[in-house]
Chain A
Amino acid sequence: MAAVEVTDGITVEAGRARTRRRVLVGVGLAVVFTLPFWAGAYPVSIATMIGFHSILALGLVLLTGLAGQVSLGQAMFYGMGAYISALLTVRVGLPSWPSIFLAAAATGIIAAGVGFVILRLRGIIVAGVTLTVNLIFYYLIMSMGSVTGGATGMIGIPRLVYPGNLPYTAFIFLLVWLVVLALLVFSRNVVNSRSGRALRVLNVLSGGSEDTAQVLGINTMKYKVSAFVVAAVFASIGGSLYAHYTRVIEPSTFHVQLSVIVAIMVIVGGVTTPWGAVIGATVMICITEILRAVAPIVLGGPTGAYELVAYGVVLVATLLFLPEGVYSLPKRLKRRRRASR
């Protein structure tokens, strides 16, 4: 009898938790997708930046969180999306919508080649090599002045064409967050599927093994490269949208610093769940904006210094005290409350 009651209790509680989660997600979606209609220009632009970073971070959830391949090259694929899209529209004169898809396809092909070479390596070295490749990419767009505009970058990238008379910033905001939602659903589906399990089994970082995966019939190289390509294509789509949003791009945006910050975002949010990417991007961008706006006025000192310190402190604190990221915070608090009861 007692056992039945306990299991009943758990299912009721789980059901309640699920309802609570659904309500939370519903309210969140409602708030996000109506934002441009009631918030000012500044919050909307911040939320748009959160969206771009969420797209970048979502790629790393599959690649790093599931497959255990630490990549510090997301900024490069973001840059590829932005530059290819910009070149196709500005220099070739293609319309902007198809150029996004062409850029994504081209980036995917390049990523497949890069991944095929790099992912033979094992462990943290992959991070070092992707970082180096990102740096090479940066030097290349800096040097190819006649094509990419060099250090000054490219200007005059056309807007996306859309029906209706929504302001452009509101349209981009909605588009970016729709993309975030779509990629979130895609990643979640992968996590709970045959491919997701294959990736987790070969994840050396979290106690899996490539040999075990092979013996189970998993083509480890194919899965690692697929995850790498998917992460790159996510970043490329984000980059193309970014180019058509700001309409001006310059190489410094796609420097290795952004790759590292994106990695910090997923770690802070929680690397094993797609929600972690969105949470991490939100937390980090909010910290940045608050510190940029407030700290130099209150505390003095140059802009940009406090956020660097904050990134470092937040990253170290997460890794030491909350290794599964902010996403796991409610669960942890609940467990602690239950333990103290």
Chain B
Amino acid sequence: MEFSTVLQSLLSGLTLGCIYAALGLGLYVVYGVTRVLNLAQGEFVMLGGMITVSLSAFGVPLFPAILLAVAIVSLTGAILYRFIIFPARHASGSTLAFLTVGFAFAVKGLTLLVWGWEYRTLTSFLGSPSIHLWGATIFGQAPWVVGMTILMVAGLYYFFGRTMLGRALRACADEPLGAKTIGISPARMGLLAFVIAAALGAVAGATITPLTMTAYNVGIPLTIKGLLAAFVGGMHRAEGVILGGLLLGLTEALSAGLMPSGYHDAIALSILLVVFLARPRGLLPAHANIED
């Protein structure tokens, strides 16, 4: 086994892992605050990519295009919460999950209507299509993806740890009733959580599009990967989700690089599934005080 092959796998695994971690973080924010398993997270990512591509095609410069895409996707997140989740907020977890499935189907269909079935892509953010590193070749976009995830994590830590609003969100996640008595509205926090998740998804979508391309049907596979990352790492902690994402990405890339061709997808998923079944509470389980 050549060093460069392994390095290549590790680097692309890291990139993939960052994508899955970004997806997992969106799921984590929504689940943490509202206890809803948002199976439309992948659609946010898909929409973010699609809208950025279209805006760029109209000649909008890249970063304003991303910002605009984030705004639009956040609005869809708000719609999902306000008109679909909120009216049914007292229903069972599976009902809420299926409501997001319904939303995902509708978004997918509308995307197909508006953009058609073609795969679309963006040029790499800084132009250079690939970077060479000790014999390994990585896509020019990969550092952007990694950077985006790091920025996302840092931003979330700052938001949840240092700002008043973030602390209110956390209070709502840990102790909904207590939060209510001190004047934090769970409904407003739920809305905020969905908007944040949608915004995270849109940023991720715009960033990964030069690497993975985007089309109306990429949402569900992305959701499944994000879900697996979150389950494996532990849905109750951001660190767990990130760990799960990286693990999934590295497992996929390494089995693609090292395993007999053809079987690597099944093998990677099976490995993750076995890890999850062995530790069903996640690799990093919840802190004792927010156990449910």
Contact = CB atoms under 8 A, between A and B. Distances in A.
A306 B106 CA distance: 9
Interface string A288-330: 0000000000000110111111111111100110010000000
B224 A311 contact: no
B266 A143 contact: yes
Interface stretch (A26-34, A124-132, A211-219): A124-132
- What is the interface of chain A mostly: helix, strand, loop, or mixed? helix
A302 B280 contact: no
Interface residues of A, number: 47
A115 to B, nearest CB: 13
Contacts of A143: 262-263, 265-266
A121 interface: yes
A292 to B, nearest CB: 13
Interface in B220-278: 220, 224, 227-228, 231, 262-263, 265-266, 269-270, 272-273, 276-277
A256 interface: yes
A185 interface: no
Contacts of B220: 256-257
A140 B105 contact: no
Contacts of B88: 319-320
Given A136-B270, A319-B98, A319-B99, A128 B231 contact: yes
B273 A140 contact: no
B234 to A, nearest CB: 12
Contacts, number: 128
B97 A316 contact: no
A311 B94 CA distance: 17
B262 A145 contact: yes
A309 B262 contact: no
Given A123-B93, A302-B113, A312-B109, A267 B98 contact: yes
B37 interface: yes
A320 B87 contact: yes
B224 A131 contact: yes
A257 B104 CA distance: 12
A263 interface: yes
A312 B76 CA distance: 15
A308 B266 contact: no
B276 A129 contact: yes
A309 B266 contact: no
A202 to B, nearest CB: 15
A135 B224 contact: yes
A106 interface: no
A133 B107 CA distance: 25
Nearest to A117: B277
A314 B98 CA distance: 12
B95 interface: yes
Given A139-B265, A256-B224, A315 B105 contact: yes
A70 interface: yes
A139 B98 CA distance: 25
A136 B113 contact: no
Interface string B166-196: 0000000000000000000000000000000
Interface string B109-128: 11011001100000000000
B231 A315 contact: no
Contact of B102 (A117, A145, A256, A315): A315
Nearest to A306: B109
Contacts of A260: 101
Nearest to B230: A128
Interface string B78-93: 0000001001100111
Given A308-B106, A311-B105, A319-B98, A125 B117 contact: no
Nearest to B270: A136
A206 B91 CA distance: 10
A140 B109 CA distance: 28
A35 interface: no
Contact of B112 (A142, A302, A315): A302
Contacts of B102: 264, 311-316, 319
Contacts of A135: 224, 269
A309 B113 contact: yes
A46 interface: no
B88 to A, nearest CB: 6
15 contacts: A117-B277, A129-B231, A132-B228, A136-B273, A143-B262, A264-B102, A301-B113, A302-B116, A307-B109, A308-B105, A309-B109, A311-B102, A311-B109, A312-B107, A316-B84
Given A312-B109, A320-B84, 14 more contacts: A121-B280, A129-B276, A132-B224, A132-B228, A132-B272, A133-B273, A139-B266, A139-B269, A256-B220, A257-B220, A264-B101, A267-B98, A309-B106, A323-B91
**5 shortest A-B CB distances, which residue pairs?**
A308-B109, A312-B106, A312-B105, A309-B109, A315-B102
